[in-house]
Amino acid sequence: MSEKFKIDRLSWQGDGIATVRNADIFIPYTLPGETAEGNIANGICNDARILEPVQTRIKPACRHFKKCGGCILQHANDAFLADWKTQLVKDTLSLNYIETTFRSIQVSPPNSRRRAVFSAKRTKKSAEIGFHKQHSDILIDLLECPLMHPQIMQGFDAFREIAKLGCSRKTEIRISATVSENGLDVDITDAKDLEPKQTETLAQLCAIHGFARISWNGEVLAQLKPPIQKFGTAHVIPPAGSFLQATPQGEAAMVSASVETLTGCKRVLDLFSGSGTFTLPLSQHSEVHAVEFAPEMLDALVTAWRQATGTKDVTTEARDLFYRPLLLDELKGFDGVVVDPPRAGALEQTKILAQSNIKKISFVSCNPATFSRDAKTLIKGGYALDWVQVIDQFRWSSHVELVAQFTLARS
C-alpha cells in the first residue's frame, strides 16, 4: 500500500530518511524537506514519487543516474552537498566531543576525476565498461560520465577492445585508467593471459589511442611515453595501478594545507607516503623521511627526487605502519609530520605520536570515523586540533575527505 511521508534528513550513505510509525524509513534519491509517496518494504521505499520537491533539488547531470552506482546525490545542488558533507564531518567529530574551526570545503569540479577503476565484460557483439548498479553485480555500460576527466572517456573505445581481449565468456576484468602528463596510464587486472598476437594488438591499441602505458595483470606490456605525475618539482612515474589522489584540485588543496602546517619545520616525516604526493612538495622546504608499505612506490619517489631541482634531503623506509609504527625514539629529531593513512586510519601510530614532542601534525583522512578516533587520541595526548578543511574529490557520492592541523599544546 502506497504511503505519504516527509523526508527529515539524509543517512550517512546519502539516502533520505523519513519517520513512519516511529521507525526510520530509507528513501533513496530524496532530499530533506521533501514530501513523497511510495511503498515501504523492509524499511526501504524504492519507488518513491516526489510530491513536493525542495529548492535544493536539481536535474541530475548524467543519463545513468539512479542506474549506475557511481553517484547517489546528483539530484542535490552544490550548496546543499557542501553543507551536508561538512556537517557529516562535524557530526562524526562531535560523537567524540571534538569541536574545532572548519575552513570552507574544497569541492572538485565535474570532469576532474583523473583516476578511476572500471569493470568490463564481453557481450555477444562488443563489450560493456562501467560501474556496477548500487548493491548489485549488474554492470552499467557507461555512455557518459560527468565525473570523469575527458581523456578517460576518450579511452572507452580502446577499453572495449581491451575487454574483448581480456575477458573470458563469463568473467569481468578491472580497467584502471589514470590521466598522466603523457596520456592515459592503463592497468588491466583479473584478465586472462594473452597469446603473443594479442599482446601485439594491445601494443597497437596503446599507440593508436596515444596511451602512455598499458599493464596487464601486473606486467607492463607497452610503454610509449613515461606516465608522469608532477609532485612539486619532481616528475614521478608511479607503479602501474597505484594510488593517486582522485583529482588534481583535491591533491592541490591537501598539499597546500599540509605545506602551510609544516612550513618552518626542519625535519618532516611523511607517513603512508605513497609515491611522494606530499614528500616531494614538502622537500622544497624541509628534509623529509617518507615511510610507506609498498617498496615500489618508494622506488618511484626516490628516482624522481634524484632528478628534481630545489629539494632538500629525502630518505625512505618501506615499513608496515599498522604492525610496526615508528617508535617514540624514532620520532625524535622530527618537528613535523604528515599522516595520510588508508580508510582504517592510523590507530597504533597515532597512539605513539600522541606521546611525542613533534610540534605540528598535518592529518589527511579519507574516513571521518577513523579520523575522529585518531584525533581523540592526539587531543588526549596534549595536541590541539586547530582546524579541519573538508575536501570533496568524490562529488555526488557520500564519500568525504579532510585535512586537519594539530599543534602540540602541552609543554
Ligand X SMILES: C[S@@+](CC[C@H](N)C(=O)[O-])C[C@H]1O[C@@H](n2cnc3c(N)ncnc32)[C@H](O)[C@@H]1O
Candidate ranges 139-147, 172-180, 257-265, 266-274; the one touching ligand X (CB under 6 A): 266-274
Q: Is 394 in the site for ligand X (CB under 6 A)?
A: no
Question: Is the separation of the CB atoms in 156 and 184 below 8 Å?
Answer: no
* Residue placing its CB nearer to ligand X in the complex, 78 or 317: 317
Candidates 180, 277, 356, 398: give the one binding ligand X (CB under 6 A): 277
Number of residues that bind ligand X (CB under 6 A): 18
- Distance between CA atoms of 225 and 327, rounded to whole angstroms? 41
Active-site residue set: 366
Burial group, residue 294, by CB count within 10 angstroms (0-12, 13-18, 19+): middle
Candidates 116, 158, 234, 321: give the one binding ligand X (CB under 6 A): 321
Q: Is 273 in the site for ligand X (CB under 6 A)?
A: yes
Burial group, residue 152, by CB count within 10 angstroms (0-12, 13-18, 19+): buried
Q: Is 383 in the site for ligand X (CB under 6 A)?
A: no
Candidate ranges 217-225, 335-343, 351-359, 370-378; the one touching ligand X (CB under 6 A): 335-343
* Residue placing its CB nearer to ligand X in the complex, 110 or 295: 295
Q: How far is the CB of 173 from ligand X (least distance, A)?
A: 22
Question: Is the separation of the CB atoms in 300 and 220 below 8 Å?
Answer: no
Q: Is 187 in the site for ligand X (CB under 6 A)?
A: no
Q: Is 294 in the site for ligand X (CB under 6 A)?
A: yes
Candidates 37, 192, 198, 293: give the one binding ligand X (CB under 6 A): 293
Q: Is 272 in the site for ligand X (CB under 6 A)?
A: yes
* Residue placing its CB nearer to ligand X in the complex, 346 or 378: 346
Q: Is 292 in the site for ligand X (CB under 6 A)?
A: yes
Q: Is 14 in the site for ligand X (CB under 6 A)?
A: no
Candidate ranges 8-16, 212-220, 320-328, 394-402; the one touching ligand X (CB under 6 A): 320-328
**Residue written as grid cell 628516482:** 303
* Residue placing its CB nearer to ligand X in the complex, 30 or 245: 245
Candidate ranges 91-99, 100-108, 148-156, 273-281; the one touching ligand X (CB under 6 A): 273-281
* Residue placing its CB nearer to ligand X in the complex, 245 or 311: 245
Question: Is the separation of the CB atoms in 186 and 202 below 8 Å?
Answer: no
Residues 59 to 78: which contact ligand X by CB under 6 A?
Answer: none
Q: How far is the CB of 353 from ligand X (least distance, A)?
A: 14
From residue 232 to residue 261, the character string flagging contacts with ligand X as x (rule: CB under 6 A) and all else as - is: -----------x-x----------------
From residue 357 to residue 376, the character string flagging contacts with ligand X as x (rule: CB under 6 A) and all else as - is: ---------x----------
Q: How far is the CB of 272 from ligand X (least distance, A)?
A: 4
Residue nearest to ligand X (CB): 274
- Distance between CA atoms of 117 and 69, rounded to whole angstroms? 13
Candidates 35, 203, 322, 347: give the one binding ligand X (CB under 6 A): 322
Q: Which residues bind ligand X (CB under 6 A)?
A: 243, 245, 272-274, 277-278, 292-294, 297, 320-322, 340-342, 366
